[in-house]
């Protein structure tokens, strides 16, 4: 009986030792996800209820993910007005930029989100803010032929003749990168009416009129010539 008891003690000790050096330790419990990242993810998914829940749980509207995106920037990329309004009401800044130098204000100038742009303008957007090409929102919109975005921006103090890193103004972008069709022609008309310098050449000394002639943009040529372009 004593020998059996001793054997049980020895086996128990061996088993305890094996557990202590086991190559397969028990998994640790997963760390809880950051409430800030939950907020950004909810904004990206368009889940307004989850956005409100994360904010109630203490998430910061200033938090960024690995791409430098805030929850508001994530909402702007998806033109999600409902979530953007909730985040701005919670104190989110429309001028903060991600790592690609995009902000909640700049994104709709390129994507054509008119209501998102208007929301940012009402919320303190800096219209002099520049993208990675040192371009204004006006230049970005002119490039893409966003007529209504151009109209909205021309109601602000934005600089009509700002020159970006490529040496182009909004007028030059509309001519060089535009199709010469109805939308880009209307953009040129609006910029000329806003007193854009029709003779401000690009970095190589080529004027807006010369670019329009090279591309055969007939109506744009007429608009420029009527405004005194040479």
Per-residue pLDDT of the chain (230 residues; tens, 9 = 90+): 444 444 334 334 444 443 333 333 333 333 345 999 999 999 999 999 999 999 999 999 999 999 999 999 999 999 999 999 999 999 999 999 999 999 999 999 999 999 999 999 999 999 999 999 999 999 999 999 999 999 999 999 999 999 999 999 999 999 999 999 999 999 999 999 999 999 999 999 999 999 999 999 999 999 999 999 99
DSSP one-letter code for 35: H
Q: What is the rounded distance in angstroms from the CA atom of residue 210 to the CA atom of residue 60?
A: 51
Q: What is the rounded distance in angstroms from the CA atom of residue 106 to the CA atom of residue 130?
A: 8
What CA dihedral angle connects 181, 182, 186 and 192, to 10 degrees? 40
CA geometry: angle 38, 39, 42, nearest 5 deg: 85
Please name the residues in contact with 135: beta carbons below 8 A apart, sequence gap of 6 or more. 162, 164, 165, 173
221 Rama sector, left if φ>0, alpha if ψ -120 to 50, beta otherwise: alpha
Q: What is the pLDDT of residue 9?
A: 40
Q: What is the rounded distance in angstroms from the CA atom of residue 5 to the CA atom of residue 53?
A: 59
pTM of the model: 0.84
Tokens of 51: 């956005």
Residue 217, judged by CB atoms within 10 A of its CB (0-12, 13-18, 19+), counts as buried
Q: What is the pLDDT of residue 33?
A: 56
Domains of the chain listed by start with CATH number: 34-126 (1.25.40.20), 130-230 (1.25.40.20)
Please name the residues in contact with 15: beta carbons below 8 A apart, sequence gap of 6 or more. none
């Amino acid at each position: 009986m004593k020998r059996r008891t001793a054997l049980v003690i020895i086996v128990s000790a061996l088993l305890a030792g094996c557990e202590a050096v086991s190559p397969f330790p028990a998994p640790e419990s997963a760390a809880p996800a950051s409430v800030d990242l939950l907020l950004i993810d909810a904004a990206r998914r368009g889940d307004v209820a989850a956005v409100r829940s994360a904010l109630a749980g203490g998430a910061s509207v200033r938090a960024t993910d690995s791409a430098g995106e805030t929850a508001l920037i994530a909402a702007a990329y998806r033109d999600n007005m409902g979530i953007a309004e909730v985040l701005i009401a919670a104190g989110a800044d429309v001028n903060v930029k991600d790592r690609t130098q995009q902000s909640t204000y700049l994104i709709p100038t390129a994507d054509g989100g008119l209501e998102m742009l208007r929301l940012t303008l009402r919320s303190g957007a800096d219209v002099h803010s520049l993208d990675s090409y040192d371009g204004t929102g006006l230049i970005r919109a002119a490039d893409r032929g966003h007529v209504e975005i151009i109209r909205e921006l021309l109601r602000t103090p934005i600089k009509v003749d700002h020159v970006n890193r490529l040496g182009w103004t909004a007028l030059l972008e509309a001519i060089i990168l535009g199709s010469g069709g109805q939308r880009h022609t209307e953009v040129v008309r609006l910029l000329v009416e806003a007193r854009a310098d029709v003779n401000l050449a690009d970095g190589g000394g080529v004027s807006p009129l010369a670019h329009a002639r090279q591309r055969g943009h007939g109506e744009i040529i007429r608009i420029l010539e009527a405004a005194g372009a040479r």
